[in-house]
Amino acid sequence: MDFVYPRTIRFADTDAAGVVYFANVLNICHEAYEESLAFSGIQIQDFFTPKIIAFPIVHAYVDFFYPLHCGDQISIHLQSTQLTIDKFEITYEIFQEEKLAAKALTRHVCIDTGSRKKTPLPEYIHNWLIN
């Protein structure tokens, strides 16, 4: 899925130096992920209330190129890709105007919540991945 999520940097996103705190970038990326799921018709409350399967993050990173400050208008460009029958990843590019401020990645694996073992991605995730 290709998706763009607009957002304003808030005071709570920043640290004592007045720039976005590094860990909050992943929170902002997760907001974009949630919005992309909702946009594709997935019921967020059901998705994040695991009954049979869940999609934990097994790998994440962020690279920073340009500081972001309170009040900055940003856009997060999200692209999801299926890696294997049970795994997908999301890449994020965070822009402030035309400047690439950061890149991030989260890798998710589909698991059976009872056994905690990997299980194939369900059809609704396949649909989200290709839209």
Distances (CA, A) of 82 to 45, 88, 93, 110, 122: 23, 4, 18, 11, 12
Provide the β-strand partners of residue 54: 111
Q: Residue 63 catalytic? A: no
Across 18-86, the runs of DSSP E, i.e. the strands, are 53-54, 57-64, 73-84
Helix (H) or strand (E) holding 31: helix 22-39
Q: Exactly one of 2, 13, 15, 46 is catalytic; name it.
A: 15
Residues with catalytic function: 15
